Amino acid sequence: MIQLFKMALRNLGRNRRRSFFSALALGMGLTLLLFMASVIEGEMGTALETAIRLQSGHLQVRAKSYDEIKTSLKWADLIENPGEISAQIASLELVKAATPRLFASGIASVRDESAGVRIYGIDPLSEANAPYREGMLSGEFLAPDDREGILIGKPLADKLALKAGDQLNLSVNTSNGEIADQTFTIRGIYSTETGGFDSITVLMPLAKAQAIAQAENHASTIFVLLNDTSQTDAVAAAVQAPNYEVMNWKKMNEFLLAYEEMANSYMVFFYLIVLGITATVIINTLVMAVFERTREIGILSAIGMKGRRIMAMFLAESSLLAVGGILIGLILGGLIIAYFTRYGIFIGDFGITGVLFSDTIRTKLTLEDTVNLSILALVVTLLAGLYPAILAARMEPVEALRAEK
C-alpha cells in the first residue's frame, strides 16, 4: 500500500502544475461550500437567537383568545394581574427572567413625517431588556415611573430625523377601540442590529403603556427567558397557569424554522453542483494521465501487475489529490470564514415580515459541517477517480505497448 502511494505521488509530480491546479479546484470548491454553510448557520442561528431574545422568548404565557396579529387589547384577551404570574414563573430554578409585556399598535409623528409603530410596554428593571440596554446608542434607559419617556430604534430615529431629547407624538390604539394621543420625550436611541425590529418598535414603561392603552393591570403576555434552551419543555410543564396558554419558542417561530429547513434543502443542490464541477476537473486530470502513460501501463501489465493493482494506483492518485484539495480548502475556508466571523457581511433589512434577520451576517462554521463537507469532498473525488482507474485497469497489454509515446 505504501509503495502504491509512493508511485502515485511520483506520477502526480510528473505534471506538477496540472496536479496543483486540480487540487486547487477541489480546494476552492470546498472553500465555497464551507463559506456557504457558515453563512447559513450564522444567519439562521442568529435569526433564531434574535427572535428568542427580542420577540418570542423561550416561553410565553398568553390568554387563549389573544390574537397576536391584531395586537388585541380587549381585556378578555389579556392577562390579569401579570405581576403575580411573572413572579411565580421567575421563582422557578431554570428561569432566567419572566416579565409582563403589553403590546399596542400606533402611529409616531413629528412635523409632517409619520410612521406606523408597535408599542412595547416593558418593565425597565427586567433582565429580559438586556438587548436594549446593551444597544443604547445615545441618551439613557427608561425608569419604571417615567410617564413621558420612550425609547426608539435607530432606523426610526433616522427616518424621522430625531435624536435623544426630542419630542415625538404617539397615537395609540386603546382597549375600547379609541385613539389616545400624547407627546413623549425620546429618552434614548437603541439598536439591536435588527432593522426589521428597530424600525417599528417603541419602548415605554409597562405602567405608562397600560395607562395610555387603557389596559389597567393587564398585559399581553408573560415573556420568559431560560438559562438553558433545552429545558424549555420541562419549564413549560412546571408553569402553573391553568387559565392561560403556554407557548414555546418552536411554536412561535414555526415560519423561521421552516425557512431554515427550506434553505438547507436548497443548499444540498448547491453543494452537488459545486462538487460536480470539481469532480469534472479531477476526471479530466486523471483521464489525461491515463492516456499519457498508456505505454507505461502496458509495461506494468506485461510484467505481471494485475488490473486491480493498476486501478488501485490511480485511486491512490485521486486520494492524494483529494487530501491536498481538502487541506487547501480548509486553510482558505478557515481564513475567509474567520474574517467574516469577526467583521460580518452587512446585508441590511431583508424586508421579510415575521422573521428578525440581523442587519449583519456573521459566519459560523460548526465542526459537524466541516467534517461532513470534507468527507463529502473526499468521496466525490474518489468516485471521480473511479472511471479513469477502471479505464487504465482494462487496457490490453499488447495494445498499450503499441501506443505511440
pLDDT tens-digit readout, 240-262: 777 899 999 999 888 888 878 88
Structural domain tally of the chain? 2
Closest to 25 in 3D by CA, of 301, 384, 370, 308: 384
Please tell me the distance from the alpha carbon of residue 222 to that of residue 209, in angstroms, as a whole number: 15
pLDDT digits over 181-205, tens only? 999 999 999 999 888 899 999 999 9
Same domain, 143 and 32: no
Grid cell digits, residue 96: 432566567
- pLDDT tens string 116-154: 999 999 999 999 999 999 999 999 999 999 999 999 999
Q: Which three cell numbers stand for residue 87?
A: 413572579
- Output the average pLDDT for the chain: 87
**Residue that the C-alpha cell 479513469 belongs to:** 388
Report yes or no on 238 lying in a domain. no
Please indicate, yes or no, whether the overall pTM of this predicted structure exceeds 0.85: no
Q: Quickly count: other Cβ atoms within 10 Å of residue 84's Cβ.
A: 11
Mean pLDDT across the stretch 153-175?
Answer: 93
**Would you call 113 helix, strand, or coil by DSSP?**
strand
Per-residue confidence at 405, pLDDT binned at 50, 70, 90?
very low
DSSP secondary structure letter of residue 12: H
Residue 109 included in any domain: yes
* Rounded mean pLDDT, 31-43: 89
| Whether 273 and 371 share a structural domain | yes
284/396 same-domain check:
yes
pLDDT at residue 351 greater than cutoff 60? no
Last residue of some domain: 198, 219, 240? 219
Q: What residues make up the domain containing 323?
A: 2-51+256-402
pLDDT value at 335 more than 50 = yes
353 pLDDT higher than 60: no
pLDDT of residue 310: 78
Do 384 and 351 belong together in one domain?
Answer: yes
- The residues pairing with 373 across neighbouring beta strands, listed in sequence order, are none
In the numeric block, the cell 415575521 is attached to 354
Give mean pLDDT, residues 62-74: 87
Separation between Cα atoms, residue 345 and residue 321, nearest integer Å: 32
CA–CA distance from 301 to each of 12, 205, 318, 396, 401 (Å)?
20, 86, 21, 8, 10
User: Which domain-ending residue is among 219, 244, 273?
Assistant: 219
For residues 194 and 142, the answer to whether their CB atoms sit within 8 Å is: no
- C-alpha distances (whole Å) from 122 to each of 37, 108, 119, 169, 214 are 37, 18, 9, 19, 15
Fill in the DSSP letter of residue 224.
Answer: E
Lowest mean pLDDT, pick from 317-331, 347-361, 385-399: 347-361
Same structural domain, 300 and 365:
yes
pLDDT digits (tens, 9 = 90+) for 266-305: 888 888 888 888 888 888 888 877 777 677 667 767 676 7
Instruction: Give a yes or no: residue 237 inside a domain.
Output: no
Are residue 271 and residue 330 in the same domain, yes or no?
Answer: yes
Residue 92 sits in the same domain as residue 197: yes
